[in-house]
C-alpha cells in the first residue's frame, strides 16, 4: 500500500522558482479534499465562464458561481435520497458539464464515484456495479439506463439518476430521478458537510487487468489534490484562459488536468472529433489536453493541405521544413536539450550555436510564409498542448517544434493519478517524458533482481509519491504485486534516466498495450480468442504507441498444409519449416507461400472472425497488420517463461525489425 504524505510539506520543499509559481495555489494548500476548491475559486472568478458546451442543444454555459451552486445542490439531493459518506455511486457517462457537476457532487456528499463510459459494453458495466458495491447509479441518459436496467435487480442499487432531463417509467424497486429533479430536491434540502482527509477514498477508476476483468484503482483526495497543487510548477494558466476538452473524462489524465485547469479559473470548451478543427479556429484555445493521435491528426491534415499545393509551392515548403529541422536540432544541442547528444561538449555546443544562428534567418522566413499560417489552424493562441496517454512519435514532436507550438509530453498511469513526469517549458527535452513533478520519486531497476541501475541504463521504472493509488479495490493480491512493502509502484514500463533526471521510456515490460488514442488494450483475452483458430499455433499482439494492434503469428503448419491440400495447392515453406511437416507430392499443384494473397486472406478472415465474436469486443480490439514467425516461442529459445508465458519484451526486442516494418 502507498504510504501517507504531507502534501503541504512537499510544496514547501520545492525549488524557489517552483515556490513562486505555486503562490497562486496557496489558498488550496490547507484543503483536504477536492470539492473544497470550488467555493474558493467561485469567490475569485464567480462571473467567469467555467464550462461551455457549444454543441449541446441548447448550448450550455455555466459560470463558476453557478457551478459551485449546482455541485452543492447535487450533493444535497444525494443526501436527501439517503446516500451516505463512503458509499459508492457508479457514474456511467461521458464528458459533459453535467458529468463534472455529478462527479464533484458525489464527492461533496462524501461518497465515492466509480466511473466509466456510457458506451462501455454492458457486461463490463455490470461487473463494475457489482464489484464497487454501488448503492446509487448515475447514468448519461435513458438509453444507458435501459441497457443496464434488466441486470440491476440482483444488485444493491436503490437510486438511479439520469443526467439528461428525460423521464423514466416508475419502478417498484428503484427511485428514479433526472438531473433537474435532483437539483430541485437538493435546493430544498440542507447539505450536511462531510469531513474528509487526504486518505479519504475519492474515486474508483476501472482499468484493464491481466485476466481481462477490470481492476478498480482506488484514488484518494490526497492523490488528486497532489496533482492540483503541484501542476502549477508546469503550467501557469490565468483566469479566463481557454481550454479545449476532447478526451474522455473517465480517463484519469483528462480528469486530473480538468481539476487543475478549472482550479485556476480557466474556461473549458467541450468539443469532439467532428468539430475540433472548427472549434480550434473559433475558440482559439490557450491549452489543449490531448493524446498523440490527435496531434497526428492535425499533422496529417497539414500534410494533406501541403500535397494540394502546386509542385513549386510543395518544393518551397519542403525546403523550409528541411532547413528548420536542421535549425531546431542545432538549437537543441546548443541548449543541452538534445536526446541524441545528451551531454555535448563546450565545442559541440558552440558549433551548434553557430549553425543555429546561420540557419535562423531562413527559419524566420519559413515562419512568416508557412508556419504562422499553420498555427492559425490551431487558433493561433496556444500556449502549450499537453500530451499524454502514449509516446509521441519523433516526427510529430519535431514538426510542432518547427511551427512554434510547444508540446509538453507527460507520463503516468491510472494508478498514479496519473502524472509523475512531464516536460517543462524551460526544460523541454524532446523524446523524453520529462522531469518528475514535485514529491515524486522514481528509479530504474533490473526487472528480475530489482537492483537499482545507473544513469543511462535501461530497466524497469518504479514510482513512489503522494499520487500513488491506495491499491486495487477488493483485490489485495493484485495490490501486493503492484506496490511493494516500501511503497514502490511497478509501472510495468521500461526506460532510462538522463544525467539531468529526465525519464526516457523505451517500451513496456507488462502486457497492457496503449494505442496512440490513449486506449488501453489487454492483449491476453484477444490472443486467447485468436488461438481458437485451427491455423494459429501461437500469437502475440503488438502495437504500443501505434494507431492499432498488430500481431506476430506462429502458424499451425500442419493445419495449414491440410487446408492447401484440400484446395489442390502446395504450401511452399522454407526448408527448416518444411521439415516440421510431412511433404506431399507437389507435382501439378499450384504453389502458394505464406506471403501469398490466398494465405494472407485466410488469416485475415480468421482474425476478424474470432476477435469480433469475442464477448466484449470493441473496435480498438481489431488486429491490423500481422507477420508470421516460423520459430515457435519456447523456454529453449528464451521467449517463454517457466510457466509458459510469452516474454513479451524479449519477443519485441528479438523481432523489432519485423514489428517496425509491420507498422511502417
CATH number for position 168:
3.40.50.12780
Do 35 and 169 belong together in one domain?
A: yes
**For residue 211, is it within any domain?**
no
Instruction: Report residue 588's pLDDT band, with 50, 70 and 90 as the boundaries.
Output: low
Does the pLDDT at position 554 exceed 70?
A: yes
**The C-alpha cell that represents 324 in the structure block:** 528548420
Q: Which residue has the higher pLDDT, 469 or 590?
A: 469
Does the pLDDT at position 463 exceed 50?
A: yes
**For residue 17, is it within any domain?**
no
Domain end, chosen from 403, 424, 452, is at: 403
Domain end, chosen from 352, 383, 403, is at: 403
Question: Alpha-carbon distance 302 to 437, whole Å?
Answer: 33
Task: Tell me the residue range of the domain where 385 lies.
Answer: 292-403
The rounded mean pLDDT for the chain is: 92
Mean pLDDT of 159-181: 91
Do 385 and 307 belong together in one domain?
A: yes
Kindly write down the DSSP assignment for every residue of 32-53, as one continuous string: -SGGGHHHHHHHHHTTSEEEEE
- What pLDDT shows up at residue 177? 97
Do 139 and 36 belong together in one domain?
A: yes
Sorted by sequence, the CB contacts under 8 Å of residue 489 that are 6+ apart come out as: 2, 415, 416, 462, 463, 464, 468, 469, 482, 483
Do 240 and 147 belong together in one domain?
A: yes
Mean pLDDT of 255-268: 97
- 303 in Cβ contact with 400 (< 8 Å): no
Q: What is the pLDDT of residues 387-445, one digit of tens each?
A: 998 888 888 999 999 999 999 999 999 999 999 999 999 999 999 999 999 999 999 99
Instruction: Report residue 326's pLDDT band, with 50, 70 and 90 as the boundaries.
Output: very high
Does the pLDDT at position 497 exceed 60?
A: yes
Flag the least confident range among 125-129, 284-288, 452-456, 518-522: 518-522
Does the pLDDT at position 227 exceed 60?
A: yes
Does the pLDDT at position 578 exceed 60?
A: no
* DSSP category for residue 516: T
Give the number of other CB atoms < 10 A from CB of residue 530.
25
Q: What is the pLDDT of residues 277-298, one digit of tens each?
A: 999 999 999 999 998 889 988 9
Q: Which helix (H) or strand (E) holds 74?
A: helix 64-80
- What pLDDT shows up at residue 208? 61
Do 335 and 261 belong together in one domain?
A: no
Helix (H, G, I), strand (E, B) or coil at 438: coil
- What pLDDT shows up at residue 338? 97
Question: Among residues 552, 553, 582, 580, which one has the least CA distance to residue 570?
Answer: 582
**For residue 429, is it within any domain?**
no
Mean pLDDT of 592-609: 95
Do 308 and 389 belong together in one domain?
A: yes
Kindly write down the DSSP assignment for every residue of 304-343, as one continuous string: HHHHTS-HHHHHHHHHHHHHHHHHHHHHHHHTT--STTSS
Flag the least confident range among 173-187, 497-511, 575-589, 634-648: 575-589
Do 283 and 330 belong together in one domain?
A: no
**In the chain, what's the furthest Cα-to-Cα distance?**
89
Do 156 and 280 belong together in one domain?
A: yes
Q: What is the pLDDT of residues 63-108, one digit of tens each?
A: 999 999 999 999 999 999 999 999 999 999 999 999 999 999 999 9
Do 189 and 312 belong together in one domain?
A: no
Place of cell 517500451: 507
Flag the least confident range among 197-211, 243-257, 484-498, 623-637: 197-211
**For residue 478, is it within any domain?**
no
Using a pLDDT cut of 70, give the percent of the chain over it: 94
**For residue 415, is it within any domain?**
no
Do 280 and 314 belong together in one domain?
A: no
Q: How far is CA 29 from CA 62, 219, 227, in A?
A: 26, 19, 12
Do 286 and 301 belong together in one domain?
A: no
Does the pLDDT at position 211 exceed 50?
A: no
Does the pLDDT at position 353 exceed 50?
A: yes
Domain count, the chain: 3
**For residue 75, is it within any domain?**
yes
For the whole model, what pTM was predicted? Answer: 0.85
Do 262 and 327 belong together in one domain?
A: no
Does the pLDDT at position 313 exceed 60?
A: yes
Phi, psi of 507, rounded to the nearest 5 degrees: 160, -170
Amino acid at each position: 500500500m502507498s504510504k501517507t504524505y504531507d502534501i503541504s510539506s512537499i510544496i514547501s520543499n520545492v525549488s524557489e522558482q517552483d515556490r513562486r509559481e505555486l503562490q497562486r495555489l496557496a489558498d488550496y494548500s490547507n484543503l483536504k479534499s477536492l470539492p473544497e476548491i470550488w467555493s474558493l475559486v467561485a469567490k475569485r472568478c464567480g462571473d467567469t465562464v467555467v464550462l461551455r458546451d457549444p454543441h449541446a442543444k441548447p448550448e450550455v454555459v455555466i459560470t463558476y458561481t453557478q457551478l459551485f451552486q449546482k455541485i452543492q445542490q447535487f450533493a444535497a439531493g444525494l443526501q436527501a435520497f439517503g446516500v451516505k459518506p463512503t458509499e459508492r455511486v457508479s457514474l456511467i457517462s461521458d464528458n459533459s458539464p453535467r458529468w463534472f457537476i455529478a462527479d464533484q457532487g458525489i464527492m461533496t456528499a462524501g461518497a465515492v464515484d466509480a466511473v466509466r463510459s456510457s458506451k462501455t459494453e454492458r457486461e463490463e458495466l455490470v461487473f463494475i456495479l457489482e464489484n464497487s458495491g454501488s448503492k446509487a447509479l448515475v447514468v448519461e441518459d435513458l438509453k444507458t439506463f435501459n441497457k443496464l436496467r434488466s441486470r440491476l435487480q440482483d444488485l444493491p442499487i436503490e437510486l438511479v439518476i439520469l443526467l439528461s432531463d428525460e423521464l423514466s417509467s416508475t419502478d417498484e424497486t428503484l427511485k428514479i430521478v433526472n438531473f433537474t429533479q435532483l437539483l430541485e430536491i437538493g435546493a430544498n434540502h440542507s447539505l450536511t458537510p462531510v469531513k474528509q482527509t487526504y486518505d479519504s477514498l475519492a474515486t474508483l477508476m476501472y482499468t484493464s487487468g491481466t485476466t481481462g476483468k477490470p481492476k478498480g484503482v482506488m484514488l484518494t483526495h490526497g492523490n488528486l489534490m497532489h496533482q492540483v497543487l503541484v501542476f502549477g510548477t508546469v503550467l501557469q494558466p490565468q483566469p479566463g484562459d481557454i481550454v479545449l476538452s476532447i478526451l474522455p473524462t473517465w480517463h484519469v489524465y483528462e480528469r486530473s488536468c480538468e481539476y487543475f485547469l478549472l482550479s485556476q479559473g480557466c474556461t473549458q470548451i467541450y468539443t469532439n472529433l467532428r468539430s475540433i478543427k472548427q472549434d480550434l479556429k473559433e475558440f482559439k484555445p490557450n491549452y489543449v489536453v490531448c493524446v498523440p493521435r490527435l496531434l497526428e491528426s492535425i499533422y496529417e491534415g497539414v500534410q494533406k493541405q501541403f500535397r494540394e499545393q502546386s509542385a513549386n509551392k510543395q518544393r518551397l515548403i519542403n525546403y523550409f521544413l528541411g532547413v528548420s529541422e536542421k535549425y531546431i536540432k542545432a538549437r537543441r544541442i546548443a541548449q543541452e536539450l538534445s536526446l541524441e547528444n545528451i551531454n555535448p561538449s563546450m565545442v559541440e555546443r558552440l558549433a551548434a550555436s553557430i549553425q543555429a544562428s546561420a540557419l535562423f534567418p531562413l527559419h524566420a522566413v519559413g515562419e512568416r510564409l508557412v508556419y504562422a499560417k499553420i498555427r492559425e489552424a490551431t487558433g493561433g493562441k496556444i500556449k502549450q498542448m499537453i500530451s499524454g496517454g502514449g509516446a509521441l512519435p519523433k516526427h510529430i514532436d519535431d514538426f510542432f517544434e518547427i511551427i512554434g507550438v510547444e508540446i509538453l509530453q507527460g507520463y503516468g498511469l491510472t494508478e498514479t493519478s496519473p502524472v509523475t513526469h512531464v516536460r517543462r517549458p524551460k526544460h523541454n527535452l524532446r523524446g523524453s517524458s520529462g522531469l518528475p513533478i514535485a514529491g515524486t520519486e522514481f528509479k530504474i531497476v533490473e526487472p528480475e533482481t530489482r537492483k537499482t541501475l545507473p544513469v543511462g541504463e535501461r530497466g524497469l521504472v518504479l514510482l513512489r509519491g503522494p499520487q500513488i493509488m491506495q491499491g486495487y479495490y477488493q483485490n489485495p493480491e493484485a495490490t501486493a504485486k503492484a506496490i511493494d512493502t516500501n511503497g514502490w509502484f511497478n509501472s510495468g514500463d521500461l526506460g532510462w534516466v538522463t544525467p539531468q533526471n529526465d525519464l526516457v521510456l523505451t517500451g513496456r515490460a507488462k502486457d497492457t498495450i496503449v494505442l496512440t488514442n490513449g486506449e488501453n488494450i489487454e492483449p491476453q483475452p484477444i490472443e486467447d480468442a485468436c488461438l481458437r483458430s485451427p491455423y494459429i499455433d501461437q500469437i502475440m499482439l503488438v502495437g504500443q504507441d501505434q494507431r492499432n494492434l498488430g500481431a506476430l503469428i506462429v502458424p499451425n503448419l500442419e493445419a495449414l498444409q491440410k487446408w492447401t491440400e484440400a484446395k489442390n495447392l502446395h504450401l511452399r515453406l522454407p526448408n527448416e519449416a518444411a521439415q516440421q511437416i510431412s511433404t506431399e507430392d507437389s507435382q501439378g499443384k499450384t504453389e502458394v507461400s505464406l506471403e501469398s494473397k490466398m494465405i494472407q486472406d485466410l488469416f485475415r478472415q480468421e482474425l476478424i472472425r474470432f476477435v469480433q465474436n469475442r464477448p466484449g469486443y470493441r473496435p480498438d480490439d481489431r488486429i491490423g497488420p500481422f507477420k508470421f514467425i516460423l520459430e515457435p516461442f519456447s523456454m529453449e529459445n528464451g521467449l517463454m517463461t517457466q510457466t509458459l508465458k510469452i516474454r513479451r519484451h524479449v519477443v519485441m526486442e528479438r523481432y523489432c525489425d519485423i514489428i517496425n516494418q509491420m507498422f511502417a
